[in-house]
Amino acid sequence: MDDGIRVLAGQRVFVCPEDGPRLDGEAAALDLMGRLWGLDADWVAVPTTLLGEDFLHLRTGVLGGVVQKFVNYRLRLAVMGDITEAVAASDALGDFVREANASGHVWFVADLAELEQRLARGGGG
């Protein structure tokens, strides 16, 4: 059975399937973490296609709440996909993404290849 775990640059990454549940709030984040129980994932990679409609609108608090859950439970989050349009529409989101990408807890990446490259450079370990 495929548990969704891929090893990228020595890190165990759970890659959410494209047809998986939406990540649209704190409850969904907790549900996702519950499904990961026992898989020993270091990272969770979530395609942008699974993000709730308000996820990238900072004023809603969805992104902040989800990120806080991941930090609290010591799981790292990689959001994968093109968010250039959302970043262009919000200076605050652009600042958030830059700060997150400088951290080792939450990254916004284009795809798994970019995530693997960043992990190989020693980030997020």
pLDDT value of position 2: 59
**Cross-strand partners of 8:** 11
pLDDT value of position 1: 35
The list of the chain residues with pLDDT below 50 reads 1
Global pTM value: 0.92
Spatial separation of the C-alpha atoms in residues 45 and 11, rounded to whole Å: 12
User: 24: Cβ–Cβ under 8 A, 6 or more apart, which residues?
Assistant: 51, 52, 53, 54, 55, 62
